[in-house]
Amino acid sequence: MAALSDRLDRLVGKKSADALAAAFKLATAGDLLRHYPRRYAERGQLTDIAGLEVGEHVTVMAKVVSVNKRQMKTKRGTLIEVSLTDGKRSLDCAFFNQPWHMEKLKPGMSALFAGKVTAFRQKLQLANPDYQLLDGDTDPETGAAGPSAVEEFAGGLIPVYPASAKIQSWQIAQCVQQTLAVLDDIEDPFPEELRTKLGLAAYDAAVRSIHRPAEWADLETARTRLKWDEALAVQLALAQRRQASGARPAPACPPKSGGILDEFDKRLPFTLTAGQVEVGAALAADLSGEAPMNRLLQGEVGSGKTIVALRAMLQVVDSGRQAAMLAPTEVLAAQHARSLAELLGDLGQAGELGAAENATRITLLTGSLTAPQRKQAMLDAASGAAGIVVGTHALIQDKVSFAELGFVVVDEQHRFGVEQRDALRGRAGENLSPHVLVMTATPIPRTVAMTVYGDLETSSLRELPAGRSPISTTVVPVAEKPAWLDRVWQRVREEVGKGHQAYVVCPRIGDEEDAPTGSDDGRRPPLAVADVAAMLAGGPLSGLRLGILHGRLAADDKDAVMRAFAAAEIDVLVATTVVEVGVNVPNASAMVIMDADRFGVSQLHQLRGRVGRGSAPGVCLLVTEMPGGTSTRERLDAVASTLDGFELARLDLELRREGDILGSSQSGMRSGLKMLSLLRDESVIADARVLAQALITDDPELSAFPGLAHMVGQLVDEERAEYLEKA
């Protein structure tokens, strides 16, 4: 018999074990059994072809419509063309120099086909796919099987696993069957009393049913149990983190009458929105106490989070403490430092001629400062001369010290891991923990807030300040309508002719370090800043002043480019996503996003938020070669249809693979969510959160529940291992 810790080569053979390890990093029986089916097919139920993505490896059940053989013109040999259908749409298969498929595939047959989706002449295609027949006799050469392929699965439900070119779904199913056949009963991490109270199936039965369900009802019972395991493990880990973060008190920073905050508020040239006032009051109350504030501030692009954060920082400075602001990139850190300095004016010029009476100092600290600059910045932080220190991850290095750090603001929280945030929490001095505010312009559905950010209280800014201009967004399908690309560059020239500026965003830099690797999905490499800038300068935008910005420029060069663009000395800035957040140039009115299909929904929303920040309306053009009818095009159409970031955040969650939400950059729990749906399982997550808090309050170390403690330990070990690997 076998245990979950047994290595796969002992259970399924070296060849299959090597393929599973190479494709999915599965090494043990437990790893394989947590590689759950992506979906289930029922005999006669065909896969929806319209939902396929170009570039992804898929397994589809489809019916053969026609099989044709012809001679290739450009290459010697034959081409077998197979047309498949799901009853609504067609999908082509192409077999090169493999004439025997003519004998195996006949019109009317159903089969499982597996391969990478490519686009050929604006149609979806599988090139040289593997397949397993669901009609006919077993073929000894190809491994294609007949009715027994269905009969192997109880009740005729066929699990379709996440697969790859190295190992197909039906081969994974065979490995799972071999493993389950020799596996001992799996110990249940839930105590019997708790499992009964929740009405959940036993863990061993759930694991077996998820891979070999007798019927749909068994499948749902198994799913419910496995969702609870994932939800409770995450929520217990978060409850322990909340308790640990509150173990050390924070410095109380109550408001001070007549201080720098009052003076700043008197000078504000605009009225705060109702949301800014409400959130500001919540932050002020949190900062006034000794319980460490751990709050997430989410808000639409341009909703005024920076002002809210600055007012909170000034309250802390009034109390004699320092505030640190952490940004994910040097470009954004420098932008924040400039923005804060502009907002404060002489209130941020302590030590300079003409400074206000109760002024503070803003210091920028990044990894690429010159040695003298870095030495001075570190001295400002350590001596307390700087009330506000802005920087990148360099701020959490051990050798950077603060005089009296009371408050940490982390911008664009999704770019940081929890360990980085925890490292900052330890910088307030002995036995003290600073207050922490994390901000994001990517609106977050409630279930994600409870899971990814479950150790934080959440505040939202939904209202945009008065004066923001509308942004129109259009999808430009250049493969179908190539002439539209000429119109894109005409539109950019028109905006520049009106005295405005434009961004052109590309997925890649275009140097040797990010040179594209080979691709077999039929797509060309993503467009690069260097290539596009050269093409524009010598062609459709010749005569305009073009600039280039990307993450591998030297810090001084990046800063110089951004200053020149802000000063309207550059007409068109060709950049990577380094301009995604924080960049504020009100005169920029147009953005062209090349290969827009290679960006996520939230990222596209973030990018277009860089335009329409002044008096002129903004225009955003999403350029793509993806064919119509694909889910990728539907995603782009959705972005073009609304400016509501909260609606797009939900759409983003619908489109992303479950389990991608807890990425390594966020919390390291790469394999933490495989069954739990952050879109559909809100009630399970909410109930698990309440239960976890009660368990941790009574028993912080889970001493009375060793199974649950082990479950959490596995999760945290994964998280730490992933973080160290990333670092």
Mean pLDDT of 646-659: 66
Instruction: Please tell me which residue, 717 or 94, carries the higher pLDDT value.
Output: 94
Would you place residue 668 in the very low, low, confident or very high pLDDT band (cuts 50, 70, 90)? very low
- Mean pLDDT of the region 673-697: 87
pLDDT of residue 671: 40
Q: What percent of the chain has pLDDT over 70?
A: 84
Q: Would you say residue 446 has pLDDT above 90?
A: no
For 585-634, the DSSP string reads: -TTEEEEEETTGGGS-HHHHHHHHTTSS-SSSPEEEEEEE-PPTTSHHHH
Q: Is the pLDDT of residue 150 over 70?
A: no
φ, ψ for residue 52 (rounded to 5)? -75, 150
Burial class (CB in 10 A: 0-12, 13-18, 19+), 298: buried
Q: What is the pLDDT of residue 347?
A: 94
d(CA 626, CA 636): 10
Both structure tokens of 319: 């109390």
For residues 493, 499, 505, 508, the Cα torsion angle rounded to the nearest 10 degrees is 90
Task: Find out whether 468 and 302 touch, Cβ atoms under 8 Å.
Answer: yes
Q: What is the pLDDT of residue 726?
A: 35
* pLDDT tens by residue, 375-394: 999 999 999 999 999 998 77
Digit-coded pLDDT (tens) for 522-540: 578 899 999 999 999 999 9
Res 141: pLDDT: 42
Taking alpha carbons only, the member of 610, 267, 312, 673 closest to residue 459 is 312
pLDDT of residue 39: 85
Task: Find the distance separating the first CA and the last CA of the chain, reported in whole Å.
Answer: 39
Q: What's the pLDDT score for residue 656?
A: 58
| Per-residue pLDDT at 62 | 87
**pLDDT value at position 422?**
63
pLDDT at residue number 356: 87
State the average pLDDT over residues 653-676: 50
pLDDT band for position 203 (cuts 50, 70, 90): very high
Most confident of 47-56, 124-133, 671-680: 124-133
In the structure encoding, which two tokens stand for residue 536, read together?
């524009």
Q: 529 with 506: CB under 8 angstroms?
A: yes
User: What pLDDT shows up at residue 658?
Assistant: 42
Select the more confidently predicted residue: 425 or 351: 351
Q: What is the pLDDT of residue 202?
A: 96
Domains and CATH numbers, the chain: 8-187 (2.40.50.140), 275-461 (3.40.50.300), 471-642 (3.40.50.300)
Measured CA to CA in angstroms, residue 122 lies from 189, 397, 488, 520, 526 at distances of 51, 51, 22, 16, 18
Strands 572-575 and 546-549: parallel
Token readout for 434 is: 């600073």
What torsion do the CA atoms of 474, 478, 484, 486 make, to the nearest 10 degrees?
120
Average pLDDT, integer, range 629-638 = 85
The reply to whether the predicted model has a pTM over 0.85 is: no
The predicted-structure confidence for 398-407, as pLDDT tens digits, reads as follows 678 899 999 9
Rounded Cα gap, residues 153 and 16, in angstroms: 20
**How many other C-beta atoms can be found within 10 angstroms of the C-beta atom of residue 344?**
22
- Where residue 118 falls among pLDDT bands split at 50, 70, 90? confident
pLDDT digits (tens, 9 = 90+) for 171-201: 999 999 999 999 999 999 999 999 999 999 9
Q: What are phi and psi of 125, to 5 degrees?
A: -150, 145
Distance between CA atoms of residues 322 and 434, nearest Å: 10
pLDDT over 80 (residue 719): no
Q: What is the pLDDT of residues 8-34, one digit of tens each?
A: 999 999 999 999 999 999 999 999 999
Segment of 124-138, 193-207, 554-568, 597-611 carrying the highest mean pLDDT? 193-207
Give me the pLDDT at residue 503, please.
97
Per-residue confidence (pLDDT) for residue 727, from 0 to 100: 28
Q: pLDDT tens, 313-357?
A: 999 999 999 999 998 888 888 888 988 999 999 999 988 888 888
pLDDT reported for residue 142: 45
Residue 85 predicted with pLDDT over 80: yes
How far apart CA 92 and CA 83 sit, in angstroms, is 5
* 562 pLDDT more than 50: yes
Instruction: State mean pLDDT over 128-149.
Output: 58
Q: How confident is the prediction for the chain on average, in pLDDT?
A: 84
Distance CA 482, CA 350 (A): 57
Cα–Cα distance between 573 and 579 in angstroms, integer?
Answer: 10
Instruction: Compute the average pLDDT of residues 624-648.
Output: 85
Distance CA 153, CA 213 (A): 8
Residue 110, SS3? Answer: strand
CA-to-CA separations, 318 to 184, 283, 408, 428, in angstroms, rounded: 64, 15, 15, 17
Lowest mean pLDDT among 60-64, 123-127, 614-618, 658-662: 658-662
* C-alpha R_g of the chain: 29
How large a percentage of the chain has pLDDT more than 90?
A: 44
Task: Give the integer Cα–Cα distance in Å for 507 and 597.
Answer: 10
